[in-house]
């Protein structure tokens, strides 16, 4: 059973940076699509970025050029480096794991496609 634990959220001023981490455990081989989703109050959960087991990434248009998704297989951890944050980035951020596939690096990620979720970490930009 895959377990995901996020960390690194917090409060930051507009223009600032944060790095989110997601530690994974409970699997025998890294064959997943890993993704970050976010959900702001009153809004639907949306995909932010995804990375496959070969390190190929995809990003939502709203974060391209500002967010970077990285995978460290030695530590079984993925990271989301977020720069030049704005108030629109304020949300609960969730790490998720889903089956491997082309949808991952093509950016066609939807919450229904992911079976494993972390508890979420809050990001607040003021």
Task: Give the 3-state DSSP-derived string for the chain, with helices as H, strands as E and coil as C.
Answer: CCEEEEECCEEECCCCCEEEEEEEECCCCCCEEEEEEEECCCCCCEEEEEECCCCCEEECCCCCCCEEEEEECCCCEEEEEECCCCHHHCEEEEEEEEECCHHHHCCCCCHHHCCEECCCEEEEEC
Is residue 26 very low, low, confident or very high in pLDDT (cuts 50, 70, 90)? confident
Q: Quick one: pLDDT band at residue 101, thresholds 50, 70, 90?
A: confident
Q: What is the pLDDT of residue 25?
A: 87
pLDDT over 70, % of the chain: 96
């Amino acid at each position: 059973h895959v377990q995901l634990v996020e960390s690194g959220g917090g409060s930051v001023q507009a223009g600032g940076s944060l790095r989110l981490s997601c530690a994974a455990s409970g699997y025998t081989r890294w064959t997943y699509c890993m993704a970050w989703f976010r959900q702001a109050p009153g809004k639907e959960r949306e995909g932010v970025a995804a990375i496959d087991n070969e390190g190929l990434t995809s990003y939502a248009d709203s974060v391209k050029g500002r967010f970077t998704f990285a995978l460290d297989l030695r530590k079984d951890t993925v990271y989301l480096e977020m720069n030049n944050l704005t108030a629109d980035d304020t949300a609960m951020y969730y790490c998720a794991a889903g089956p491997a596939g082309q949808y991952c690096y093509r950016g066609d990620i939807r919450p229904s496609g992911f079976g494993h979720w972390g508890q979420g970490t809050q990001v607040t930009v003021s």
